[in-house]
Structure 1
Amino acid sequence: MSKKDDIRKFLVARRANITLAEAGLPDFGDERRVPGLRREEAAQLAGVSVDYYTRLERGNIHGASESVLNAIARALHLTDVEREHLLDLARLTPSAADRRTKTTAAAGVRPSVQRVLDNLAMPAVVYNARQDLVASNLLGRALFSLHFDSDRPNMARFIFLDSRAKDYYADWPLACSLTAAMLRYEAGRAPLNAEITELIGELATRSLQFRKDWADQDVHEHRTGQKAYAHPEVGTMDLTYDVFEMPGEPGLSIATFTPDEGSESADRLILLASWAATQEFDSTMISPDS
């Protein structure tokens, strides 16, 4: 799909999500053929002409000023992540994310980073923009043991293509939706990244669920939140995840997973550690493409 198509579908989907009440416009009860705002209403809220807004929504966005794009973002009630995605789609020059090479993932992590992981008292994994699992500590390997069954451990592939994912993720539909939204966000940041494009194509070919979630045009940046994992050995754990970028390793992030103190999930995490100690895990990951 071309960038022009991406822009068109994204803006149309976001416009369809806004009601007259949310936009602060009067509802005269007239019949509407499409959900959400009409183009002229979106143009009015953004302070641009209908012709100009129509041109932008058709994907002819290059040359639009940042102030105009920000006005459209406000009119469509875009989140900060969605606004950033719109600016990414409008960008003409390659971003830093585009210039990252596959050697970033292939090199794994430095020994010093692995030592940091190994000294954390909670599950931790390192992953890249394509959601390849690049490294982990022992608890991280245990928590995501099903993912690591693959010779190319990748969170998106597991969620959409592995039948065990529906049992492992307590809210599998939400995991699917967020994963597709994260990939769309990363694809917008790095439209020339062939590895991300190839993964999206693979998932679209092999997963009906991915095609449905991808069509929603949602974008999401993984930073912090809660997820419930139904681990086959210790049961369900409600964990808070936090994601930290690695300035010394462009393109890689560390995700940690912690339970509330004194919770049943904390007790189960202790059981997970005991189980992990009996397994012959290699916490140092190799390249997903090796």
Structure 2
Amino acid sequence: MGVLGCFAGASRRDDPAARARQDPEERAEAGLPAGPRRRVPGLRRSEVAALADVSVEYYAKLERGHLAGVSPAVLESVARALQLDDAERAHLLHLAQAADGSDALTRPRRRPGRGWTPPPGLQWTLDAITGGPAFVRNGRADLVATNALARSFYCDLFREPGVPGGAVAGEQPDGGAGGGARPSAGDGGGVRPGGGGGGGGGAARPGGGQPPNLARYQFLDPASRAFYPDWSVAADITVAILRTEAGRDPHDRGLHDLIGELSTRSDEFRVRWGAHDVRHHGSGTKHFHHPRVGDLTLSYQGLQLAAEPDLFFTVYTAEPGSASERSLRLLAAPATTGLSAVSP
């Protein structure tokens, strides 16, 4: 993966400076003559170089991904010329640091591996959240720890092989949520039983198997098409998160393997990966269609764990008094045979 391709060339879809607009007024705001309206949006390479106060030849070198030794001042000038947002600026900086090796001190000393078990305090925190799905993921979109409601929410990731209807792995015969989740379809291997607490448990699989992975589910499981009504938007977000992680930690072999697998098996992923879009995924609203309770509109908050900077804590909640909140309550209750979607 190297430095993950050039930032300023392959990462933009239309022309070498597609961050800028074709509107004459916007060109004027960028500090360039308004000029005639163009057939193709964006600035010419020479115009970006002028805005960044570098030569065209030097800017072309940056476009080709030669970022080693580039000063922070030049990176900032390029970022300003291309009107990059915070996530894109951080991505550019990470690529430059990886190119010259200056990321060595900030590179993770260790990553939570397949045998990683959530500390008891973290699992207790997850289990204490009963009003919404809560989980911990890594930069590869592996679910490494969950609360009981998250396993019911992502039932397609945790379902027993051969069991239809989104039955959640780990549910007891009477429908109650059990200790840890067991195998899920599509991932192979089983989920390690959770330690401590009523319904919690780490989501990593024993025996070296793959943990439940949101990216694999998004692109390789047909059930995701129904689960995400805005599937294309959700797919864009998933790929942008992985691209951001690839810039932050380009030496993660597990991430390399995941990208290779998805690129080989999914045309939808491969096209999006080539766009080089990045984003921070801190908060927002998403729409879902759950196989048991129907449509859900949920807000989410994502936090980076201070004790484990490679891990991200996410909680979904519903507006108080809404149909989505009632649906989450039903989903959190012991499952019943033949449960149908909830009417608004």
Does residue 70 of structure 1 match 2:76? yes
Would you say how many aligned residue pairs link Structure 1 and Structure 2? 277
Which residue, out of 238, 248, 260, partners 2:319? 260
Deviation at residue 83 of structure 1 after TM alignment: 0.5
Give, in whole Å, the separation in 2 of the partners of 1:126 and 1:97: 22
Give, in whole Å, the separation in 2 of the partners of 1:96 and 1:142: 40
Judge which range, 215-224 or 78-87, deviates more. 215-224
Which residue, out of 145, 149, 167, partners 2:155? 145
Which residue, out of 18, 21, 31, partners 2:20? 18
Contact 2:27 2:34 (8 Å CA) reproduced: no
- Look up the SS of the partner of 1:140 in the other structure: helix
Contact 2:240 2:277 (8 Å CA) reproduced: yes
5+ residue gaps in structure 1?
279-290
Deviation at residue 261 of structure 1 after TM alignment: 0.9
Contact 2:19 2:84 (8 Å CA) reproduced: no
Distance 1:201 1:100, change over 3 A: farther
Does residue 123 of structure 1 match 2:110? no
Distance 1:193 1:77, change over 3 A: same
- Look up the SS of the partner of 2:35 in the other structure: coil
Contact 1:95 1:190 (8 Å CA) reproduced: no
Residue type of the alignment partner of 1:126:
V
Task: Please list the CA deviations of residues 179-233 of structure 1 after superposition, one character each: whole Å capped at 9, or x if unmatched.
Answer: 1111000000111111111101110000010011112211012111111111100
Identify the structure with bigger relative contact order (alpha carbons < 8 Å, sequence gap 6+): 1
Give, in whole Å, the separation in 2 of the partners of 1:105 and 1:158: 18
Distance 1:63 1:12, change over 3 A: farther
Give the aligned partner of residue 225 of structure 1: 284
Distance 1:30 1:102, change over 3 A: closer
More helix by share: 1
Deviation at residue 64 of structure 1 after TM alignment: 1.2
Give, in whole Å, the separation in 2 of the partners of 1:96 and 1:240: 35
Give, in whole Å, the separation in 1 of the partners of 2:224 and 2:294: 14
Does residue 175 of structure 1 match 2:175? no
Which residue, out of 163, 172, 175, partners 2:222? 163
- The structure that has the greater radius of gyration is 2
Give the aligned partner of residue 6 of structure 1: 6
Contact 1:244 1:255 (8 Å CA) reproduced: yes
Q: What TM-score, normalized by structure 2, do the two folds share?
A: 0.75
**1:18-57 superposed matches below 5 A:** 18-21=20-23, 22-24=26-28, 25-29=32-36, 35-57=41-63
Task: Please list the CA deviations of residues 230-274 of structure 1 after superposition, one character each: whole Å capped at 9, or x if unmatched.
Answer: 110001110011111211223111110001111111111111111
Distance 1:232 1:95, change over 3 A: farther
Deviation at residue 96 of structure 1 after TM alignment: 6.2
Q: CA RMSD in A?
A: 2.2
Residue type of the alignment partner of 1:170:
P
Task: Please list the CA deviations of residues 79-131 of structure 1 after superposition, one character each: whole Å capped at 9, or x if unmatched.
Answer: 01000000111012235674343445531211111111111122101111111
Judge which range, 182-191 or 2-11, deviates more. 2-11
Give, in whole Å, the separation in 2 of the partners of 1:56 and 1:12: 17
Contact 2:283 2:299 (8 Å CA) reproduced: yes
5+ residue gaps in structure 2?
159-183, 190-210, 338-344
Which residue, out of 113, 127, 136, partners 2:122? 113
Contact 2:6 2:63 (8 Å CA) reproduced: no
Does residue 234 of structure 1 match 2:293? yes
Give, in whole Å, the separation in 1 of the partners of 2:267 and 2:63: 27
Distance 1:96 1:185, change over 3 A: farther
- Look up the SS of the partner of 1:229 in the other structure: strand
Identity %: 42
